[in-house]
């Protein structure tokens, strides 16, 4: 194929161009540590309320327990997701999605592409939806979900969400067996960089910190601080005494919810959370997520009208 | 007689829901047609990943006109009554007629309901069916409010006859029914217009869709086995996987792939599970060695390179999966060799079994103690049973079982072998969860039996101690299965175990394990060992009845053998299951004979007369009847027959020769019948009456010693 992608970034750029051409706002990553692209407020919060929405973005994601010191061919504690969210879900979303695969060199005439049942649920976000994992030649390349509920609220209209695990997808397209060997930029560039040139060392550093070094006592404090701040923010009345305007602080509160969620993941990686406590922590984050969703639907973007 | 064709075309329907959805569609629509007054000759339903299809042949073109006559109020009744009648019939006063009968003059209504054309009925019915379809999980999409399993794209609904096909006019939430469908997602383009079922199925096939799931499954199986056979190999049969895979493809293309040599030494169960669970591959085995050497994957498309790219991709994914599995396997083996299975099991002290029953490690300790107690009763060495119980669940802490929970037990066996255990201990690790259902194989090796029983009895006593019994359809801890497991282990191995003594000790331990929870909960505190055991034994009996009923033994026959009429304490009832079943089988056979059935009637008659007399007289007739007061030959013959039967029954019961006891009992039939024929019980002579009642009492006592015939129905 003449125009097969040559590098990791080529695949990202093609996805950006493709979804831009489909009319999505191409957003930038959210500037906080999150476990998955779904946590970006452009997905979680914007899937609530009736306002139409279409966005696509790369989201760096962190899963501390998946760290393998850069040794494992496809497990990373820091990786990239590509996320598309469209509300209401268009009737041809499956075709649009297949078009995006074609744009990165996966042609349905040569490959076996299948939609295999996989219902999505995020206990931390109080969210669930129905859909599939999409298989290409037996490999899961994306998650495809019709959101039914987020933060305990029914989604109406329903958003269609697509999540691509970029490293895995790119490794397949580029025919690479170890993620660290994957060309990040054009291998013909004056300074060719592989994924490992950029991330092997950080995977090592973070693996050590995540598993053995992070100060659990401090993380626990941070968790409780974030939880308290989230609740405190949301306890404020809608009317701002200074400007006299109605300002519901849904996003600042949600930032604290994201923080709490990531701190929980770090504590989990340090192995200091028992099986029973685990459920309790997840429940605490979910409570925050629900309160933030409640707050967001009280904002203009969330459909509130005076 | 038109034919009806319906197709509901959607995004991919989960494979596991397709068969049920097709049969629901068929039932809902055909029942609705019949209810609306239509008839049909035959109906068939089909499912593919993207469509549910129903074909109804020979449908009546319209429903018949029906006429009904209804009697109203008297013509001189208050106006209100008449108004009510008009409302209920939907008629006006001038449409009514009057008629006289014996009680006066009445209003009569003739109601005519004109027939409706089939398309009208179908349109209404299909709309209702789509809106109320019983999907296990359904969803909304876009801005609409319709629910379907995944977004519904189009509805095909036509009635076809010799003179052509006609679209049934129908619109559901913006989707208007038509006469077109679509073929394969990638191998076909554009809409396909159809005129009837045969045309539809044929055009779909041309458009690379095989409509029937059975056809897809048999094609997959045929192609897979043929390909494997050509290489001297065989496909490992897996019906559930075959059905699932047939639900993932509209155009199955079977590909045979290679497993990298470095993975071929993994245990076959690991290869099979990894390939099935993650990749939905069939395992392909070398019949000579029993090793899994290749795999079969089923693609949903044909490609110019005959699947080469697809197969290469699948092999790559498999290699990544199996290198994970190999990594787990090697890590686990290293752990076991370094610290043994006891060492591997250490983290189970931190794993909660149930928050009211403590950790897995504590549960294992109870199972070990119990297995030691049970061992001598099942012919196992106590030390071996204890050793097996101690390590049987160690694999729950292994990396492999963490990844593949369904390999629990099997991995335990491999790791136990690797750690040097033998004498049936590794086998017990693999088998101690068995039997898992009514048809699962039951372990017979003594060590396996001991641990399997201990595992289940601890489970049951534990949950009974915290009063978490199954209710209705809720049985989250599979306790019914555990009780059935105990029953099947005991019966198949013909174990002379006393359920009561077996559970008593276990219940004490369970109560101790639950003591913190019991301390905190007043309602649990009131539940003592004795009560819990009575409930548990009752539960065993219920499960036994269900099990035996499935084997064709009536529930009243089981009841007659379960409850010893002479025992006061419920828990003391029939605790030797093998005995109960032997007794029930013998009684069941006896009741099938003429003598048995008639004896039962004779017994009931005797029991009724006796019970009535006892109630009336306020005494119990249990003093020995004396033959010297006998007046007739028939009476004397019955005395003699009872002497003979007693002499046989008591020793036969003692020897558990229930067939002999029952046959001796059935021998009473002729003398008993003759006795009732010739003799009146309630004579004026009170001495003779009392003697005859005492004779009946002797019959009752004797029969009840064999089985509680009062519980037999009919």
Are residues A138 and B11, on separate chains, in Cβ contact within 8 Å? Answer: no
| pLDDT for residue B568 | 45
Q: Which long-range contacts (CB under 8 A, 24 or more apart) does B641-645 make?
A: B641/B667, B641/B668, B641/B670, B641/B671, B641/B672, B642/B668, B642/B695, B642/B698, B642/B699, B642/B702, B645/B702
Question: What would the pLDDT profile of B169-210 be if each residue is shown by its tens digit?
Answer: 999 999 999 999 999 999 999 999 999 999 999 999 999 999
Question: Would the pLDDT of B49 be above 90?
Answer: yes
Mean pLDDT of B413-440: 93
The one-character DSSP state at B330 is: H
| pLDDT for residue A233 | 98
How far does the CA of residue A87 sit from the closest CA of chain B (Å)?
Answer: 7
| Cα angle for residues B144, B147, B148 (degrees, 5° grid) | 120
Question: What does the alpha-carbon distance between residue A104 and residue B667 come to, in Å, rounded to a whole number?
Answer: 88
Window 244-283 of A: residues touching B by CB (8 A cutoff) are: 274-276
| pLDDT for residue B394 | 95
| pLDDT for residue B596 | 87
Does B14 touch chain A if contact means CB atoms closer than 8 Å?
yes
Mean pLDDT of B140-162: 96
Does A146 touch chain B if contact means CB atoms closer than 8 Å?
yes
B521: which residues sit within 8 A by CB, 6+ positions away? none
Instruction: Give whichever of B34-43, B346-355, B621-630 has the largest mean pLDDT.
Output: B34-43
Burial track B62-71 (b if 16+ CB lie within 10 A, e otherwise)? bbeeeeeeee
Q: B206 exposed, middle or buried (CB, 10 Å; 0-12, 13-18, 19+)? A: exposed
Question: What would the pLDDT profile of B536-557 be if each residue is shown by its tens digit?
Answer: 988 998 899 889 888 888 888 9
**Which ranges in chain B are annotated with CATH 1.10.3210?**
346-520
Mean pLDDT of B693-707: 88
- Under the banding of pLDDT at 50, 70 and 90, the label for residue A2 is very low
Strands A120-122, A113-117: pairing is unpaired
Q: Return mean pLDDT, chain A.
A: 95
Question: What would the pLDDT profile of A104-155 be if each residue is shown by its tens digit?
Answer: 999 999 999 999 999 999 999 999 999 999 999 999 999 999 999 999 999 9
Q: Which of B253, B141, B45 is nearest to A114 (CA)?
A: B253
Q: B629 exposed, middle or buried (CB, 10 Å; 0-12, 13-18, 19+)? A: middle
- Considering the domain B585-711 in this protein, what is its CATH number? 1.10.730.10
| Cα angle for residues B518, B521, B523 (degrees, 5° grid) | 100
Q: How far is CA B118 from CA B64, B115, B166, B195, B630, in A?
A: 11, 9, 11, 17, 80
- Name the residue with higher pLDDT: A79 or B581: A79
Question: What does the alpha-carbon distance between residue B351 and residue B345 come to, in Å, rounded to a whole number?
Answer: 10
Strand partners, B69: B110
In chain B, what is the straight-line distance between the N-terminal and C-terminal CA atoms, in Å? 50
Q: List CB contacts (< 8 A) between B139 and chain A.
A: 129-130, 146, 148, 158
pTM over 0.90: no
Query: Which of A64-68, A202-206, A297-301 has the lowest average pLDDT?
Result: A64-68
| pLDDT for residue A276 | 65
| pLDDT for residue B249 | 97
Q: List CB contacts (< 8 A) between A177 and chain B.
A: 316
| Cα angle for residues B26, B30, B36 (degrees, 5° grid) | 155
Instruction: Give whichever of B200-209, B517-526, B651-660 has the largest mean pLDDT.
Output: B200-209
* Contact indicator for A251, A45 with CB cutoff of 8 Å: yes
Are residues B301 and A172, on separate chains, in Cβ contact within 8 Å? Answer: no
Q: What is the DSSP string of B551-613?
A: TT--HHHHHHHHS-TT--SGGGS---HHHHHHHHHHHHHHHHSHHHHHHHHHHHHHHHHHHHH
A48: which residues sit within 8 A by CB, 6+ positions away? A150, A151, A153, A155, A293, A296, A297, A302, A303
- Pick among A112, A161, A173 to test the B interface (most B CBs inside 10 A): A112
Q: What is the DSSP string of chain A?
A: -TT---SHHHHHHHHHHHHHHTT-EEPPPPSS--SSGGGSHHHHTTTSSS--EEEEEEEEEE-GGG--TT-SSS--SEEEEEEEEEESPPTTHHHHHHHHHHHTT--TTTS-EEEEE--EEETTTTEEEEEEEEEETTEEEEEEEEEEEETTEEPSSPPEEEEEEHHHHHHHHHT-SSGGGSBSS-TTSSS--BHHHHHHHHHHHHHHIIIIIS-HHHHHHHHHHHHHHHHHHHHS-SB-TTT-SB---HHHHHHHHHHHHHHHHHHHHTT---HHHHHHHHHHHHHHHHHHHHHHTTSTTTT---
| pLDDT for residue B475 | 87
Are residues B143 and A157, on separate chains, in Cβ contact within 8 Å? Answer: yes
| pLDDT for residue B93 | 86
**Which ranges in chain B are annotated with CATH 1.10.730.10?**
585-711
- Pick among B136, B142, B154, B188 to test the A interface (most A CBs inside 10 A): B142
Residue B353, both tokens? 């079994």
| pLDDT for residue B1 | 85
- Under the banding of pLDDT at 50, 70 and 90, the label for residue B68 is confident
- Under the banding of pLDDT at 50, 70 and 90, the label for residue B569 is very low
Q: Nearest CB to A138: which of B145, B305, B314? A: B314
B330: which residues sit within 8 A by CB, 6+ positions away? none
Q: Return mean pLDDT, chain B.
A: 91
| pLDDT for residue B564 | 62
Are residues A114 and B150, on separate chains, in Cβ contact within 8 Å? Answer: no
Mean pLDDT of B425-431: 96
| pLDDT for residue B570 | 47
| pLDDT for residue A1 | 45
Helix ranges, B466-521 (H): 479-492, 499-513, 515-520
Question: What would the pLDDT profile of A3-54 be if each residue is shown by its tens digit?
Answer: 899 999 999 999 999 999 999 999 999 999 999 999 999 999 999 999 999 9
| pLDDT for residue B324 | 84
Mean pLDDT of B67-89: 88
* Interface pTM, i.e. ipTM: 0.94
* Contact indicator for B315, B258 with CB cutoff of 8 Å: yes
Question: What would the pLDDT profile of B448-486 be if each residue is shown by its tens digit?
Answer: 999 999 999 999 999 999 988 898 888 888 999 999 999
| pLDDT for residue B574 | 53
Place of tokens 């096939």: B205
Question: What does the alpha-carbon distance between residue B473 and residue B539 come to, in Å, rounded to a whole number?
Answer: 15
Question: What does the alpha-carbon distance between residue B579 and residue B567 come to, in Å, rounded to a whole number?
Answer: 16
Question: What would the pLDDT profile of B342-374 be if each residue is shown by its tens digit?
Answer: 999 998 888 888 888 888 999 999 999 999 999
Q: A217 exposed, middle or buried (CB, 10 Å; 0-12, 13-18, 19+)? A: exposed
Instruction: Give whichever of B154-168, B558-572, B641-655 has the largest mean pLDDT.
Output: B154-168
Window 294-333 of B: residues touching A by CB (8 A cutoff) are: 297, 299-301, 303-305, 307, 309-314, 316-318, 320
Question: Would the pLDDT of B572 be above 60?
Answer: no
How far does the CA of residue A10 sit from the closest CA of chain B (Å)?
Answer: 21
Mean pLDDT of B396-416: 93
Place of tokens 């540590």: A33
Residue A235, both tokens? 């306890």
Q: List CB contacts (< 8 A) between A109 and chain B.
A: 186, 303-304
Question: What would the pLDDT profile of B555-566 be if each residue is shown by its tens digit?
Answer: 889 888 887 654
Question: What does the alpha-carbon distance between residue B84 and residue B655 come to, in Å, rounded to a whole number?
Answer: 76
Question: What does the alpha-carbon distance between residue A249 and residue A230 come to, in Å, rounded to a whole number?
Answer: 10
- Name the residue with higher pLDDT: B563 or B493: B493
Domain B346-520 -> CATH class: mainly alpha
Mean pLDDT of A64-92: 94
Percent pLDDT > 70 in chain B is 98
Question: Would the pLDDT of B46 be above 50?
Answer: yes
Q: Nearest CB to B15: which of A91, A117, A139? A: A117
| pLDDT for residue B522 | 80
- Under the banding of pLDDT at 50, 70 and 90, the label for residue A73 is confident
Collapsed DSSP state (helix, strand, coil) of residue B459: helix
């Amino acid at each position: 194929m003449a125009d097969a992608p040559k590098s990791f970034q080529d695949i990202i750029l093609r996805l950006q161009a493709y979804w831009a051409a489909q009319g999505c706002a191409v957003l930038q990553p959210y500037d906080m540590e999150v476990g998955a692209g779904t946590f970006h407020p452009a997905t979680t919060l914007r899937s609530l309320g009736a306002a139409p929405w279409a966005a696509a973005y790369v989201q760096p994601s962190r899963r501390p327990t998946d760290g393998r010191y850069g040794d494992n061919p496809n497990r990373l504690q820091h990786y990239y997701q590509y996320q598309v969210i469209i509300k209401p879900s268009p009737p041809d979303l499956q075709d649009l999605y297949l078009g995006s695969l074609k744009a990165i060199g996966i042609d349905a005439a040569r490959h076996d592409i299948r939609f295999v049942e996989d219902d999505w649920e995020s206990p931390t976000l109080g969210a669930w939806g129905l859909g599939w994992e999409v298989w290409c030649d037996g490999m899961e390349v994306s998650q495809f979900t019709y959101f039914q509920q987020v933060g305990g609220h029914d989604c109406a209209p329903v958003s269609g969400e697509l999540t691509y695990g970029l490293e895995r997808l790119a490794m397949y397209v580029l025919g690479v067996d170890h993620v660290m060997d994957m060309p990040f930029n054009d291998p013909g560039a004056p300074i060719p960089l592989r994924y490992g040139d950029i991330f092997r060392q950080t995977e090592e550093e973070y693996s050590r910190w995540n598993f053995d070094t992070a100060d659990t006592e401090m993380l626990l404090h941070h968790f409780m601080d974030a939880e308290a701040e989230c609740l405190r923010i949301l306890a404020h009345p809608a009317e701002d005494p200074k400007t006299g305007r109605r300002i519901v602080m849904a996003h600042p509160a949600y930032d604290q919810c994201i923080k709490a969620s990531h701190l929980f993941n770090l504590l989990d990686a340090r192995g200091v959370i028992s099986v029973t406590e685990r459920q309790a922590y997840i429940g605490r984050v979910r409570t925050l997520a629900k309160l933030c969703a409640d707050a967001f639907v009280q904002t203009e973007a969330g459909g509130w009208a005076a | 007689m038109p034919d009806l064709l319906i197709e509901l075309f959607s995004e991919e329907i989960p494979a596991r829901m397709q068969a049920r959805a097709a049969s629901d569609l068929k039932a809902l629509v055909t029942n609705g047609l019949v209810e609306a007054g239509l008839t049909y000759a035959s109906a068939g339903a089909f499912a593919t990943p993207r469509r549910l299809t129903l074909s109804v042949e020979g449908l009546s073109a319209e429903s018949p006109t029906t006429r009904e006559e209804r009697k109203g109020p008297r013509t001189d009744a208050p106006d209100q009554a008449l108004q009510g009648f008009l409302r209920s019939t939907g008629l006006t006063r001038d449409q009514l007629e009057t008629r006289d009968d014996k009680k006066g003059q009445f209003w009569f209504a003739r109601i005519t309901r004109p027939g409706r054309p089939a398309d009208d009925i179908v349109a209404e019915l299909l709309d209702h069916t789509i809106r109320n379809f019983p999907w296990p999980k359904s969803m909304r999409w876009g801005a609409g409010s319709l629910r379907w399993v995944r977004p519904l794209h189009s509805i095909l609904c036509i009635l076809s006859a010799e003179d052509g096909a006609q679209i049934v006019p129908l619109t559901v939430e913006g989707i208007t029914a038509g006469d077109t469908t679509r073929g394969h997602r990638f191998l076909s383009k554009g809409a396909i217009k159809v005129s009837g079922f045969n045309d539809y199925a044929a055009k779909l096939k041309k458009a690379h869709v095989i409509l029937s799931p059975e056809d897809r499954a048999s094609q997959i199986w045929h192609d897979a086995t043929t390909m494997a056979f050509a290489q001297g190999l065989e496909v490992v049969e897996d019906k559930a996987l075959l059905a699932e895979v047939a639900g993932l493809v509209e155009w199955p293309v079977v590909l045979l792939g290679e497993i990298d040599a470095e993975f071929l030494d993994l245990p076959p169960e690991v290869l099979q599970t990894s390939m099935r669970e993650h990749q939905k591959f069939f395992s392909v085995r070398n019949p000579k060695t029993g090793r899994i050497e290749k795999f079969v994957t089923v693609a949903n498309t044909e490609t110019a390179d005959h699947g080469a790219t697809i197969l290469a991709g699948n092999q790559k994914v498999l290699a990544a999966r199996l290198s994970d599995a190999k990594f787990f396997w090697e890590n686990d083996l290293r752990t076991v060799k370094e610290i043994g299975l006891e060492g591997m099991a250490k983290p189970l002290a931190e794993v909660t079994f149930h928050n009211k029953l403590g950790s897995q490690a504590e549960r294992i300790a109870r199972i070990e103690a119990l297995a030691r107690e049970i061992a001598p009763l099942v012919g196992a060495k106590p030390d071996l049973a204890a050793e097996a119980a101690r390590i049987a669940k160690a694999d729950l802490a292994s990396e492999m079982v963490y990844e593949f929970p369904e390999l629990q037990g099997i991995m335990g066996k491999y790791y136990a072998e690797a750690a040097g255990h033998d004498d049936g201990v590794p086998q017990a690790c693999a088998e101690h969860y068995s039997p898992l259902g009514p048809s699962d194989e039951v372990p017979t090796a003594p060590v396996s039996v001991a641990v399997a029983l201990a595992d289940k009895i601890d489970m049951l006593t534990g949950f009974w101690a915290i009063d978490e019994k199954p209710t209705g359809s809720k049985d989250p801890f599979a306790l019914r299965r555990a009780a059935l497991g105990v029953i099947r282990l005991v019966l198949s191995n013909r174990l002379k175990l006393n359920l009561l003594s077996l559970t008593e000790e276990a219940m004490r331990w369970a109560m101790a394990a639950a003591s913190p929870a019991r301390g905190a909960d007043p309602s649990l505190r009131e539940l003592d060992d004795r009560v819990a055991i009575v409930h548990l034994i009752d539960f065993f009996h219920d499960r036994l009845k269900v099990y035996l009923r499935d084997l064709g033994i009536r529930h009243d026959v089981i009841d007659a053998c379960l409850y010893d009429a002479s025992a006061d304490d419920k828990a003391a009832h029939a605790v030797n299951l093998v005995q109960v079943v032997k007794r029930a089988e013998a009684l069941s056979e006896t009741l099938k004979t003429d003598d048995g059935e008639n004896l039962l009637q004779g017994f009931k008659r005797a029991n009724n007369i006796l019970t009535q007399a006892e109630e009336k007289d306020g005494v119990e007739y249990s003093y020995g009847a004396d033959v010297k007061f006998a007046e007739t030959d028939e009476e004397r013959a019955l005395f003699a027959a009872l002497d003979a039967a007693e002499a046989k029954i008591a020793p036969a019961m003692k020897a558990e020769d229930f067939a002999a006891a029952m046959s001796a009992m059935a021998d009473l039939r002729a003398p008993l019948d003759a006795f009732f024929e010739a003799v009146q019980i309630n004579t004026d002579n009170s001495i003779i009456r009392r003697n005859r009642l005492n004779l009946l009492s002797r019959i009752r006592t004797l029969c009840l010693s064999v089985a509680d015939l009062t519980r037999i129905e009919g």
